Amino acid sequence: MAANVSSHAQRSVSDLIHARAGLLRVLARHPLWANIEAAVAEGLRAHFADNPPELRRVDRSTSAAILNQIIRYEAVHEIRDLRDLARRLSADRRCYGLFTPSIPDEPLVFIELALTRCMVTDVGTILDTDTPVVDPDASTCAMFYSISSCHEGLRGVPLGGLLIRQVLDRLQREWPGLRTFATVSPVPGFRPWLDQLGRTHGGWIGQIVTTLDEGSWLTDPELGERMKAALVPLCASYLLDAKRGAEPLDAVARFHLGNGARLEGINWLGDRSHAGLARSAGITANYVYDPSQMDANHVLYDRTRIVIAAQDVITSARGAALHVA
């Protein structure tokens, strides 16, 4: 009898995830259903709080069904082919997912990271399938470069933060020599924000947007340096000062800051891919997860919405803000 009840409960969780996904798709047309959607979301949050999903490593021995889900739902850096997938699962790479018994062949959310010997600012060095595999035991850094959810019905259910904390704990136990846990993250809202700024302010910002559109700055070193001098401070200002209500406008910043990270650096041409240029003019950001500071950072951010950032980022942002205001 107990087994039947447990099986029924697990099926119900799966049904709730799919039901909420359907509600989210039609909510704009049926705003009166918002209370139903909110109740389903709260039910899912309560379930996973009481029944935490299981952390599992995804590697080359993982079932094809799960590997296909990794390829399908990778939302940050598209997995181009099986060679790309194999490199992401090599000895100096890790992929972890959270799983629940109701959907055994699909991770709820998964994260990808590289074990490295230094802080990575250019995600292309991680995604290059021709890079040699390094000895993970000689690594001092864990660089998170992608986190993806597999279920629209779990949007807003805080599984990403749980995944990061569980992965950090596992990495610290397996590799005591790791000293730095950080991301090399996209800045997905920067280019749209900059385009809007160019339309409203014109002037030198409008000229920067025009130059970005023309593309010659990528092949002209002198022009590229001038663009770097303008765009890195502007991106710092965007991450620190652009708001959605009281929180940062940038969704990736909201996620990492809300989970206790610190904005550590802004990296020029850290993502030269077509997607990286389109969403952030090729810029990436490093967020550092210091296990000794995460809880304090989370509490401070939750209470104040202050963007905890390195002094270099703050200084850079202040210089740009004088020209943007």
> What is the rounded CA–CA span in Å between residue 128 and residue 130?
5
Mean pLDDT check: name the lowest of 10-19, 195-204, 288-297.
10-19
Cβ distance 132 to 199 under 8 Å? no
Instruction: Map residue 301 onto helix, strand or coil.
Output: helix
Q: Which CATH number fits domain 53-183: 3.30.2350.10, 3.40.630.180, 3.40.50.20, 3.40.50.300?
A: 3.40.630.180
* pLDDT value at residue 40: 93
| pLDDT of 8 above 50 | no
CA 156, CA 149: separation in Å to the nearest integer? 11
Cα angle 163, 165, 168; round to 5: 105
Residue 139 has pLDDT above 50, yes or no: yes
CA dihedral 204, 208, 214, 219 (to 10 degrees): 120
String of DSSP letters for 204-220: HHHHHHHHHHH-GGGT-
CATH 3.40.630.180 residue spans of the chain: 53-183
Residue 284 — very low, low, confident or very high, per pLDDT cuts 50/70/90? very high
Q: Which of 180, 164, 53, 183 is nearest to 111 (CA)?
A: 164
* DSSP designation for 282: T
The Cα 188–Cα 169 span in angstroms is 28
Pick from 230, 224, 236: nearest CA to 198 = 230
- Pair type for strands 180-183 and 141-149: parallel
Give yes or no for residue 7 having a pLDDT over 80: no
The H-or-E segment that residue 291 falls in is none
CATH number for region 185-324: 3.40.630.150
Every domain range in the chain assigned CATH 3.40.630.150: 185-324
Region 300-318 average pLDDT:
97
Instruction: Determine the Cα–Cα distance for residues 81 and 222; give it in Å rounded to an integer.
Output: 36
For residue range 10-37, what is the model confidence (pLDDT) as tens digits? 558 889 999 999 999 999 999 999 999 9
